[in-house]
Structure 1
């Protein structure tokens, strides 16, 4: 079995002036995404006032997992505007798995705090769109990590698909996870807790931040992994 995957080149077909404009706009977008991910995590952490209740740790852990760690884990392979651009590919690979491990740890911890908070308050589980999307996001995160392990150890695990195909599956699963995480974060902003904390124009600004992050991350993944021709066997 043989699989061929070719990445779509960035800026193909552009003139010199348009190409540099594209590069600088892309660099500005990546820098803004780094700042947005960190800023959103810090603001959510401040609004949550961690330590005041069991629930207060849930938004902190989940924002650290998905707004910060997963965003950084994907964007560190970008050559435009990434604070890790000076690192070798091997170092970036190690950092990628460090961030992925943090995503799993922080997400599992956030889930634990939410379950404990619901149990103490004697409230039902999985009754809102936010909770259902959150469970789907966690399940997809575990699947994406498992797919990544198959990419690292293809001979040990002996998967049925070839390494190029596994990398494409891993990237696609990562995109699905991030879009699910974005939907979960956005749905949290419609909760009574968040709307009681943030109102008016500020609420609309918060609503746009995760959507902006998703746009930049989606562009990064598709530019890096989108095949130019159909995979053939």
Structure 2
């Protein structure tokens, strides 16, 4: 007698009380991710004191791009706790495009400021783990944007890959970009500038802040695009 095993979507198969508890916890996690992304952006912006130097704009631009815009661009598709829950799917897609475009603009601007700062100070480039990780993040961001453009202009480009596969590539690359951005932001907290600015217990608290939104985003993307398929044993 053959036995088919099918994995249910996350949250199914629970009792009524357990299901509502699960939904409430997911909504709380998503809202906490919104708050953490915004809070981390504000903290880094305040610590960098924008305008005091060329370098001071680099943390501002990068935190706005990756901690805020990219986080919101992904979480707006969340069914639990999205700030744009009243919008249609088409409107959410357009907002996603806008957020991702802002990520590219902010990242390019932040890159320009750090290059200008190092050139003025006559400091070498790409000598730290943070800078190397940042380059990987920027390259992955450009690749992810490329997959997004392929999805938008699929017919015009006459691509052989079907749109669902391109969407999967885009989502997977987006997950990689977000995780790389999280690691890059975390590595910045080991820099001399950051350790001279934040000390004591606050440094450990801020070190853990970028990890929470990344867990929520990773869970959302894997549940939406990488669900386990039916297997036969």
Report the TM-score range of the alignment, normalised by the length of the smaller protein. over 0.9
TM-score, L = length of structure 1? 0.93
Structure 2 residue 159 is matched with structure 1 residue 159: yes
Give the structure 2 partner of residue 145 of structure 1.
145
Q: How far apart in 1 are the matches of 2:19 and 2:9? A: 12
Structure 2 residue 107 is matched with structure 1 residue 107: yes
Give the structure 2 partner of residue 79 of structure 1.
79
Equivalent residues in 2 for 1:164-179, closer than 5 Å: 164-179=164-179
Aligned residue pairs, count: 224
CA 124–157 in structure 1, closer or farther in 2 if over 3 Å, else same:
same
Q: Is 2:9–2:227's contact at 8 Å kept on the other side of the alignment?
A: no
Which deviations, in whole Å up to 9, do the C-alpha atoms of 1:78-129 show, x marking residues without a partner? 1211111111111111100000000000000000000000000000000000
Shift of 1:8: 6.6
Runs (4+) of structure 1 exceeding 4 A deviation are none
CA 8–104 in structure 1, closer or farther in 2 if over 3 Å, else same:
farther
Structure 1 unaligned residues grouped into runs of 5+: 1-6
Secondary structure of the structure 2 residue equivalent to 1:190: coil
Shift of 1:146: 0.5
Equivalent residues in 2 for 1:1-233, closer than 5 Å: 9-229=9-229
Q: Is 1:45–1:60's contact at 8 Å kept on the other side of the alignment?
A: yes
How big is the alpha-carbon RMSD for the aligned residues of Structure 1 and Structure 2? 1.3
Q: Is 1:57–1:113's contact at 8 Å kept on the other side of the alignment?
A: yes
Q: How far apart in 2 are the matches of 1:14 and 1:173? A: 32
Q: Is 1:8–1:223's contact at 8 Å kept on the other side of the alignment?
A: no
Q: How far apart in 1 are the matches of 2:80 and 2:8? A: 16
CA 97–48 in structure 1, closer or farther in 2 if over 3 Å, else same:
same
Give the structure 2 partner of residue 4 of structure 1.
none
Shift of 1:43: 0.8
Q: How far apart in 2 are the matches of 1:89 and 1:19? A: 25
Shift of 1:228: 2.7
Q: How far apart in 2 are the matches of 1:8 and 1:56? A: 48
Shift of 1:42: 0.6
Q: Is 2:77–2:92's contact at 8 Å kept on the other side of the alignment?
A: yes
Shift of 1:162: 1.2
Shift of 1:192: 0.5
